[in-house]
Chain A
């Protein structure tokens, strides 16, 4: 079975959707556990993809293609996964803070996180502190990701953290922040848990935070 997992990982890294689906079904047919297929095949492949991307050996569109293969295979596995397993690496609520309509960076991070096995709830742009609080209550994520492109909206990140504190849900979640003007120093200053300098490092940090 390990050979099959390996083939699955290799085809995933190539972004070969048909083969990924075929090997996923084959593994199920041979009696492999869905969770094992996910961990040893798909996520193992995505792990390599993430590393290669970080090293500058892959283009984002290639990574996105791999992530799409991963989702296709997840659809096949879904009925065989327990509820806990289906949540994958964890659940993330992600959004661009209030006053900011920029979302390319945030979307990239969301896609990278999905590729890393997270269930991502993208709540969009121009998200008020209260809306973040509401999303935490509704979706019960382990992680929150906040994005800003404008320095003028960066203070909203701190306000959002305060709102989470006031609502008594701050301790339920780890908070990540990123965006072009955001720095490690800023993230520490506002009391968030991690800073993602780019989409690859954000998804890596996310994995560390929930590990």
Chain B
């Protein structure tokens, strides 16, 4: 368990933000674009006003508080492989890859190009390999599959390439049902899947204060069927929320809670995660500034709120950057954000591999971020202070003017110290002799090696076939089936 942390807020400040959120939920309300969700809120003590085709939901404080109480503080994120199970409880910590991108930087050609289904699988395989990621998240929207079935293609690519628990978006309640069917095929039946659900669903409210129909309907379906809901919101300070960070946190908090309340109204105790990736708007350019330090501060605040609610969190801009490539800007911006969010104790800190304002994942940066993640985890582990660690006896034995390298105490603790990993700690002559290569070169080499050698625990052949059949049946029914998609993605790299 991590031992070093920082608090951005005092208890009074957290209370002030919570109270402001209660006021927004009760007075301003949340717009919901789903009749089912409106009914659910309406029959549980909320005020429902019709607003055109939408519903304005005003949620009284007691409904909010009841949902906060019933949302679980601990949950299992099961892996397809039980060895990869992750217990999400207070103090648990993991980094995870970035997601939602539409481009990648190719691991072999280093070309910036559209993301494909194959990339989704390849990145899942890398995520499966990297020990800093205890879970995995749907990394991208492939450009080579029909928009209608994109979520199912992602599910297929991910489940075949990682045995870790994964987060994915469903796109509709109906598609979530299809995913559950796919998952059941892997687990050996729906009952077995529900004993150890190995995926969770991501739902994104639209800032400010809207649960659109997809978001609301997927929350309802997931909560009723027993799939964990990760409500991730992205209020953007100065754009879709106040330019002041406290105001952004209030909007952010209200949106996340609205989603979690809906899940709890469907089923008390439904597993939910407090997710967020809010940052600021660059008001000179009209775009989110994904590398801005404000993102770190906002998420540190979100971490404080989730701890106040005793809910596990899944927080944004770790390793984010506005840089168009994995360069020094990317490293400076990304690490400041990752360190801030993790020191504030987000449970799962996401964003490794991101470049270009959340538009792309660079395969090599995924590896470099995992290296930084290892070092951050070291920082989080803090400094243990007990007799063995203080070691006055050892200091006395070695005495002034000697060294500790031959002492048994050093021998027994040296493996606790960091190693360089991909970073270069060599003498300069040695570095020259090895070809003066920079971190980027070594990262590409490593990512290529992982792709060539790492294989995850396979999904059995029958389940694979069933998944593929569910997918093509769905596409046929929707009239978007295209043989080319199947051929293009079955094997091999897309160039």
Chain A positions within 8 Å of B, measured between CB atoms, are 53, 56, 58-61, 99, 101-102, 104-105, 108, 150-153, 155, 180-181, 198-199
Contact = CB atoms under 8 A, between A and B. Distances in A.
Given A101-B206, A101-B212, A181-B359, A152 B286 contact: no
B285 interface: yes
Given A151-B114, A155-B147, A180-B359, A58 B285 contact: no
A199 B284 CA distance: 11
A101 B210 CA distance: 11
B239 interface: yes
A61 B283 contact: yes
A131 B357 CA distance: 32
A8 B17 CA distance: 43
A105 B287 CA distance: 8
Given A60-B284, A198-B287, 10 more contacts: A60-B286, A104-B236, A104-B286, A151-B114, A151-B143, A152-B141, A180-B287, A180-B359, A198-B285, A198-B286
A99 B147 contact: yes
B150 A108 contact: no
A180 B286 CA distance: 11
B102 interface: yes
Nearest to B240: A104
A105 B238 CA distance: 13
Contacts of B238: 61
Given A99-B147, A101-B206, A181-B359, A108 B286 contact: yes
Contacts of A61: 238, 283
Interface in B129-150: 141, 143, 147, 150
Contacts of B102: 150-151, 181
B141 A60 contact: no
A104 B150 CA distance: 24
Interface in B282-296: 283-287
A58 B147 CA distance: 38
Given A101-B206, A104-B240, A181-B102, A151 B284 contact: no
A110 B54 CA distance: 23
Contacts of A53: 284
A58 B284 contact: yes
A150 B286 contact: no
Nearest to B150: A152
B148 to A, nearest CB: 8
A199 B239 CA distance: 14
B245 to A, nearest CB: 17
B284 A59 contact: yes
B286 A105 contact: yes
- Top-10 shortest CB links A-B: A152-B147, A151-B102, A59-B283, A60-B283, A108-B286, A181-B102, A199-B286, A151-B141, A60-B286, A56-B284
Contacts of A180: 287, 357, 359
B208 to A, nearest CB: 10
Interface in B102-121: 102-103, 114-115
A150 B358 CA distance: 12
Nearest to B282: A60
19 contacts: A53-B284, A58-B284, A101-B206, A101-B212, A104-B240, A105-B286, A150-B102, A150-B141, A150-B147, A151-B102, A151-B141, A151-B143, A153-B147, A155-B147, A180-B357, A180-B359, A181-B102, A198-B287, A199-B286
A56 B357 CA distance: 19
A136 B357 CA distance: 34
Contacts of B284: 53, 56, 58-60
Nearest to A109: B286
B174 to A, nearest CB: 15
B158 to A, nearest CB: 17
A76 to B, nearest CB: 29
A180 B359 CA distance: 8
A104 B206 CA distance: 11
Contacts of B103: 181
A94 to B, nearest CB: 15
Q: Among B103, B150, B240, B287, find the residue whose CB has the most chain A CB atoms closer than 10 A.
A: B287
Interface string B259-294: 000000000000000000000000111110000000
A111 to B, nearest CB: 10
Contacts of A105: 286
A58 B357 CA distance: 21
A52 to B, nearest CB: 11
A56 B147 CA distance: 36
A198 B141 CA distance: 22
Nearest to A58: B284
Interface string B225-240: 0000000000010111
A105 B147 CA distance: 21
Nearest to A64: B283
A133 to B, nearest CB: 20
Contacts of A153: 147
A22 to B, nearest CB: 29
A60 B284 CA distance: 6
Nearest to B103: A181
Report which residue of B114, B115, B147, B206 has the largest number of chain A beta carbons within 10 angstroms of its beta carbon.
B147
A180 B285 CA distance: 12
A199 B283 CA distance: 12
Interface in B340-388: 357, 359
A113 B275 CA distance: 35
Contacts of A155: 147
A108 B285 CA distance: 10
A96 B286 CA distance: 17
Contacts of A198: 285-287
A120 B142 CA distance: 34
Contacts of A199: 286
A198 B147 CA distance: 25
A45 to B, nearest CB: 20
Contacts of B115: 151
Contacts of A101: 206, 212
